[in-house]
């Protein structure tokens, strides 16, 4: 009798987050595969009794950042949204608008928003996962929510410039 590895229970969450992060199915699958490969190889580094899910998301985050840095530019995003628009067109359009607006956010804000809003991470878990201070998590989340709200309302993002006379 074989027992499933504890990492396997987190694969659906990793896939969902990777897809929301990259907005490209093939890149998301590659990111999940790379994450699983590294996590299995480095599993001895995970401390028993700590949050395995947060550790896996840390592995994924670090891989994503490293891959983005190695590309030296931002990967073009798919304009084709995989949002079904059928009997519930209005809901599909809202989801499409939300997806497009999320892509307008800086990656730092998008990561925090997705971890809190999509994956239900606590602020502390996000802080540990992204290796940033708790105050930075709250600041990025607040700025990300405000910017997302403005984008969904059809308002351009507020410039962060102040006029000095």
The predicted structure's pLDDT at residue 76 = 46
Q: Would you say residue 158 lies in a domain?
A: no
pLDDT in tens, 14-23: 999 998 888 8
Q: Compute and round to an integer the Cα radius of gyration of the chain.
A: 18
- Amino acid 99: pLDDT: 74
CA distance 146 to 16: 23
Regions in the chain scoring below 70 on pLDDT:
1-3, 72-93, 156-165
What pTM does this model have?
A: 0.63
Task: Please give the residue range of the domain that contains residue 57.
Answer: 1-73
Rounded to whole angstroms, how far apart are CA atoms 68 and 62? 10
Read out DSSP for 135-163?
Answer: HHHHHHHHHHHHHHHHHHTTPPPPPS---
> Do the domain assignments include residue 81?
no
Does the residue 32 lie in any domain? yes
CA angle 119, 3, 38 (to 5 degrees): 55
Count of structural domains, the chain:
1
* Residue 59 included in any domain: yes
- Whether 104 maps to a domain, the answer reads no
Answer yes or no: are the C-beta atoms of 130 and 61 closer than 8 Å.
Answer: yes
At residue 77, the pLDDT reads: 45
Q: For position 75, what pLDDT does the model report? A: 45
pLDDT score of 93: 67
Is residue 22 one of the residues assigned to a domain? yes
pLDDT tens digits, 69-82: 777 544 444 444 45
Q: Is residue 5 part of a domain?
A: yes
Q: In the prediction, which pLDDT does 37 show?
A: 94
pLDDT score recorded for residue 161: 56
Residue 29 domain-assigned (yes or no): yes
CATH code of 24's domain? 1.10.1740.10
Task: Compute the CA torsion angle 90, 85, 141, 107 (nearest 10 deg).
Answer: -150
């Amino acid at each position: 009798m074989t027992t499933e590895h504890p990492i396997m229970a987190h694969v659906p969450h990793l896939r969902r987050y990777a897809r929301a992060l990259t907005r490209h199915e093939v890149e998301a699958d590659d990111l999940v595969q790379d994450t699983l490969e590294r996590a299995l190889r480095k599993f001895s580094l995970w401390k028993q009794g700590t949050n395995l899910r947060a550790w896996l998301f840390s592995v994924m985050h670090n891989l994503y950042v490293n891959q983005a840095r190695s590309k030296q530019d931002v990967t073009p995003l798919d304009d084709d949204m995989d949002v079904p628009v059928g009997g519930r067109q209005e809901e599909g359009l809202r989801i499409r608008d939300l997806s497009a607006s999320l892509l307008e956010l800086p990656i730092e804000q998008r990561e925090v928003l997705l971890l809190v809003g999509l994956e239900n991470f606590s602020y502390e878990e996000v802080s540990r996962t992204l290796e940033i201070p708790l105050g930075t998590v709250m600041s990025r989340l607040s700025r990300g929510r405000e910017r997302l709200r403005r984008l969904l309302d059809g308002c351009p993002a507020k410039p962060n410039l102040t006029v000095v006379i």
